[in-house]
Structure 1
Amino acid sequence: MQRLKSETRPHHERTEAQVRLMDPDLTPTAYRRHLEALHGFYGPLETRLAGLGLDAVAGLSVHARWKVPLLVEDLRALGHDDASLAHLPRCGGLPSLAGVPEALGCLYVLEGSTLGGQLILRHLRRHFDGTPLGPFAFFRAYGDDVGPRWRAFGEAVNQASVVAADAAFDSRAVKGAQDTFDAFAAWLRREQAHASVSA
């Protein structure tokens, strides 16, 4: 986990720069568009992750970590239905995840986003106080269990590395995380550019 943190820092910072949810002039429309972009990234990415054998990683409980149902809950509260959700853009430039190490690196990005989402949640609640925008389900995610779930994830990743006993395992996990950050940043840039053109 320490290597993941240190070797993905610049990738993380570039991706974070694309997230505008802490902007003081954030509008309900911009919030909705950001959730739509997240849905377009998490949807196909979680589908790919589901086929990479993560169920075999002890202590991970990967299916309890999926975020698409939370995004759907939020988007429905903002006016979407089955038909409109099905027509939202989906990311085609996903990271290339060859196996479990890369998938764990990818999950490091997604779970870290959940951890960082707590700060965003507090801002959104203050910023939109009195505006009916739904439950903020995605950013609320694990509720009071965010810290424990992050620690459990870290323990599962570290243990998987030990069990693998393969020098390439950690490098592959780092590459998976770097590629996920980069794909995420590129997708957010694309969606923001599209939103600017259509505004």
Structure 2
Amino acid sequence: MQRLKTETRPHHERTEAQVRLMDADLTPTAYRRHLEALHGFYVPLEARLAGLGLEAIAGLSIHTRWKVPLLKEDLRALGHDDASLERLPRCGALPSLAGVPEALGCLYVQEGATLGGQLILRHLRRHFDGVPSLGDFSFFRAYGADVGPRWRAFGDAVNQASASAAGDTFDARVVKGAQDTFDAFAVWLRQEQAHASVSA
């Protein structure tokens, strides 16, 4: 986990720079557009992750970590229905994720976003206090009071998988999966933000 943090830092910072949810002038429309962009990335990404055998990783409990249902809940609160959700753009340039190590790296990005999302959640609740029809911020609320324990459990699962593999190749592949996920996510967010600016 420490290697992941160190070797993905530049990729993390580039991606974080694309997230504008902490802006003082954030509007409900901009918040909705960001959730739509997240939906467009998470839907195909989680579908790919679901086929990579992560359920075999001890302590990971992968099926309790999917975020797409939370995004759909938020977007329905913002006016979407099943038909309009299906029409939202989907990212076609996902990280390759050749196997379990890369998938764990990808999950490092997603679970780290859930942990960091607690800061965003506090900002959203203050910023939109009194604004009706924004829902309960389900995506950023995610695991609720269990965010810390779930993050530690994820770290333990990754470290255990690394120890069981007993080789640097496994770890390098985990790091590469995380780096590629950060980079693909940053590109997708830039693309969607540019599209939103043209449409505005």
Give your verdict on TM over 0.5. Answer: yes
In structure 2, distance between residues paired with 1:129 and 1:135: 11
Q: Residue 154 of structure 1 corresponds to which residue in structure 2?
A: 155
Q: Residue 80 of structure 2 corresponds to which residue in structure 1?
A: 80
In structure 2, distance between residues paired with 1:42 and 1:64: 15
In structure 2, distance between residues paired with 1:48 and 1:159: 23
User: Aligned pairs, how many?
Assistant: 199
Alignment pair present for 1:181 and 2:186: no
Alignment pair present for 1:2 and 2:2: yes
In structure 1, distance between residues paired with 2:2 and 2:99: 21
TM-score (norm 2): 0.99
Q: How does 1:21-170 map to 2 (within 5 A)?
A: 21-132=21-132, 133-170=134-171
In structure 1, give the amino acid aligned to 2:117: G
Query: Following TM superposition, by how much is the alpha carbon of 1:165 offset from its aligned partner in structure 2, in angstroms?
Result: 1.0
Deviations 1:121-145 (A, max 9, x none): 0000000000121010000000000
TM-score (norm 1): 1.00
In structure 2, give the amino acid aligned to 1:30: A
In structure 2, distance between residues paired with 1:112 and 1:167: 23
Query: Following TM superposition, by how much is the alpha carbon of 1:170 offset from its aligned partner in structure 2, in angstroms?
Result: 0.3
Query: Following TM superposition, by how much is the alpha carbon of 1:166 offset from its aligned partner in structure 2, in angstroms?
Result: 2.0
| Structure 2 unaligned regions, length at least 5 | none
- Runs of 4+ residues over 2 Å off in structure 1: none
In structure 2, distance between residues paired with 1:163 and 1:6: 22
In structure 2, give the amino acid aligned to 1:164: A
Q: Cα RMSD between the aligned structures?
A: 0.3
Q: Residue 197 of structure 1 corresponds to which residue in structure 2?
A: 198
In structure 1, distance between residues paired with 2:68 and 2:107: 14
